[in-house]
Amino acid sequence: MAQTFLNLAQGVTGTLPTGNYVQGGISEYQQWRLTSALNSNQSDADISSNLEIVDTNAPQTLGSGMSESGGIFTFPSTGVYLVTYQGQAYQPNDEDDRGVKFKIKTTTNNAQYTIAAQMYQVMLWTPNTNQPFTSATISCVFDVTNTSTHKVKFAWGSSQGSNIYLRGNTDETNTNFQFLRLGDT
């Protein structure tokens, strides 16, 4: 059976419309990380310190970037954002509690925070190690219609209140937080 091909370029003249195409690409992206380990024996502890913009390997900011104060992140512009939290936790003492929680909390009134995403994980334990560990990635889409009232923070904790640590390091990215503007609100 013979195949016939159509030459689409033949006989086309004029200018094609571009109004329906996305222009400009990603306007805002930034990655932050935990700079040193945090300890908690609480079931719900906000991450309020030891935070920095990732500064190793390659620049981790496109656009003007987020601002942070006391663990509360403020968005640089309105829009719909994908917020991602990658947490790594461990327990150095091989205690019975191996459950850990990771949470993204948002506010639309700059006061009351609600849980936008959360995950519970059980730490891996083997007889050859006395440091159970776990990691998780959670995300949410957040419609930021006002940068002075719409904010985000991150939390974590143990399921039974034992000593659990959230991994952090200023030279490599362990626990980290990413902000990606998807488009206009």
Tell me the whole-structure pTM to 2 decimals. 0.83
The pLDDT of residue 94 is above 80? no
Among 55, 58, 115, which residue's Cα sits nearest to residue 85? Answer: 115
CATH number, residue 115: 2.60.120.40
* CB distance 126 to 106 below 8 Å: no
| Domain ranges, residue 159 | 29-183
Taking the C-alpha atoms of residue 44 and residue 159, their distance in angstroms, rounded to an integer, is 9
Mean model confidence pLDDT for the chain: 85
- Asked if residue 19 is part of any domain, the answer here is no
Structure confidence by residue, pLDDT tens digits, 19-34: 444 456 789 999 999 9
What total of structural domains would you count in the chain? Answer: 1
Give the type of residue at 44.
D
| DSSP state string for 10-34 | TT--S----TTS--S----EEEEEE
Q: Name the band, by pLDDT with cuts 50, 70 and 90, for residue 56.
A: confident
Q: Name the band, by pLDDT with cuts 50, 70 and 90, for residue 164.
A: confident
Taking the C-alpha atoms of residue 168 and residue 170, their distance in angstroms, rounded to an integer, is 7
Could you give the angle at the alpha carbon of 56 between the alpha carbons of 51 and 58, nearest 5°? 120
**DSSP-derived pairing of the beta strands 114-122 and 133-144:** unpaired
- Asked if residue 6 is part of any domain, the answer here is no
